[in-house]
Amino acid sequence: MSAAALKKQFESMLGASRPSLELAPSGIPEIGLPRGCLTEIIGPASSGRTSLLVSLLAAATAREEVCALVDAEDSFDPVSAAAAGVHLPRLLWVRCSHNAEHALKAADLLIQGGGFGLVAMDLGDTPPRNAHRISLTSWFRLRRGVEHTPTVLVTVARQSNARTCASLVLECARERVVWSGARGTSQLLRGMRVRARSKTCSPVFTATAI
């Protein structure tokens, strides 16, 4: 019996008694992230995944939740984040100096500590080879740590690393870059149109630069 058939059978057995997940608003219509679960935001460079993450942080800090960002590659830009509406005093920023292993340990400690509305682990610039070295056991530990808590655990990476441990995978793809003005003289980067695909929906949002 295939895994899909097993899953279908299992879900039908649970029926209506299966509790629905509480979704945390992301600041983008149609996108809600399940609490107590691991969500992966994946995509290549300039695909809008960091814009989506910052939008999540802005929405969470606007709800007065305390958030943590574990930055594996020291790539977080506070100016952009503040401009996007992130309330910086409610954000804990952990800089891991290009060390994915440290990022994993720090994320684990933050989740075990509890009390955070959102814990994000940014592996966006980590080479895929290094990110893939993180064992499934580690991802499973993170998933178990966040289970039955109101915390949203998010990872940003180039490709999916957590595999079956992730409850939701949002794959970002850039549709087009919006420029304005005449090319070569008064051109201006206006923003980027991004499509975020998941199994259930594929909303489109525009990340504006100005």
| 106-165 positions binding other proteins, by CB under 8 A | 106, 109-110, 112-117, 124-125, 150
Q: Pairing relation of β-strands 118-122 and 67-71?
A: parallel
The angle, 0 to 180 degrees and rounded to 10, between the axes of the packed helices 136-146 and 100-113 is: 20
Backbone angles phi, psi at 63, to 5 degrees: -85, 10
Measured from the CB atom, the residue of 24 and 162 that comes closer to other proteins is 24
Return d(Cα 151, Cα 145) in angstroms, integer. Answer: 10
Measured from the CB atom, the residue of 7 and 92 that comes closer to other proteins is 92
Strand segments (E) across 16-148: 23-25, 32-34, 38-42, 67-71, 91-95, 118-122
Q: Which of 105, 132, 195, 197 binds other proteins (CB under 8 A)?
A: 105
Q: Which 42-101 residues touch other proteins, going by CB under 8 A?
A: 44-52, 54-55, 58-59, 62-66, 74-85, 88-97, 99
Distance in Å, CB of 146 to other proteins, minimum: 13
Distance in Å, CB of 46 to other proteins, minimum: 4
Return d(Cα 37, Cα 35) in angstroms, integer. Answer: 5
Give the interface segment with other proteins, choosing from 10-18, 133-141, 163-171, 179-187 (CB under 8 A). 179-187
The half-sphere exposure of 54 on its side-chain side, counting CA atoms within 13 A, is 20
Over the window 28 to 47, marking each residue x when it contacts other proteins by CB under 8 A and - when it does not, the resulting string is x---------------xxxx
Distance in Å, CB of 20 to other proteins, minimum: 20
202 binds other proteins (CB under 8 A): no
Measured from the CB atom, the residue of 13 and 79 that comes closer to other proteins is 79
Measured from the CB atom, the residue of 1 and 148 that comes closer to other proteins is 148
Cβ burial, residue 168 (10 Å; 0-12/13-18/19+):
buried
